[in-house]
Homo-oligomer: A and B are copies of this chain.
Amino acid sequence: MFKIKVISVGKTKEAWLKEALDAYSQRLKATVSMEWVLLKNVQQLNDAVKKEPFYICLDPNGKAYSSEGFSTFLFQQLIAQGARLTFVIGGPEGIPQEIIRKASFLLSFSQMTFTHQMIRLLLLEQLYRAIEIHKGTAYHK
């Protein structure tokens, strides 16, 4: 069982987004145990991230992968990090520069900006897709 932690700011607001995240968490649960650390503000985000020895920031200036490339990257990192990984998604004001600077890796899902809320869904969908690609199922075709 892999453990993936997501640290971000703000509760999940919209009902549809909660439903979508639940649906993907359900699909992931045979392989991944998800932990959501949703904080109140940037100060709390700073404090929480300081305790992480290794974390990946989702940032538009990070490295862009295809879904296949992300799958390879994800499993390399999961193996290197003992089956645990932490992702950091910014809040409404993005990610503080200090957190970006100390990140183990910057990952870009798109050159476009999406709401930090919607990025949660994009991350879950890509985690699920990455696992299906790794397994060799037809989901990603």
Closest to A15 in B: B19
Number of copies of chain A assembled together: 2
Task: Tell whether A114 is near chain B: CB-to-CB under 8 Å.
Answer: yes
* Contacting residues, chain B, for A14 (C-beta < 8 A): 19-20, 23
Q: Is the CB of A114 within 8 A of B118?
A: no
Q: How large is the interface on A (under 10, 10 to 19, 20 to 34, 35 or more residues)?
A: 20 to 34
Task: Tell whether A75 is near chain B: CB-to-CB under 8 Å.
Answer: no
Task: Tell whether A66 is near chain B: CB-to-CB under 8 Å.
Answer: yes
Task: Tell whether A70 is near chain B: CB-to-CB under 8 Å.
Answer: yes
Q: Name the residue in A17, A20, A125 with the highest tally of chain B Cβ atoms < 10 Å from its Cβ.
A: A20
Contact of A122 among B111, B114, B140 (CB under 8 A): B114
* Contacting residues, chain B, for A121 (C-beta < 8 A): 118
* Contacting residues, chain B, for A70 (C-beta < 8 A): 112
A4-23 vs B, CB cutoff 8 Å, 1 = contact: the mask equals 00000000001111011001
- Of residues 98 through 135 on chain A, the ones whose CB sits less than 8 Å from some CB of chain B are 109-115, 118, 121-122, 125-126, 129
Task: Tell whether A64 is near chain B: CB-to-CB under 8 Å.
Answer: yes
Task: Report how far A73 CA is from B112 CA in the complex, Å.
Answer: 13
A58-72 vs B, CB cutoff 8 Å, 1 = contact: the mask equals 001000111101100
Closest to A92 in B: B141
What 3 A-B pairs have minimum CB-CB distances, sorted nearest first? A16-B19, A16-B16, A110-B110
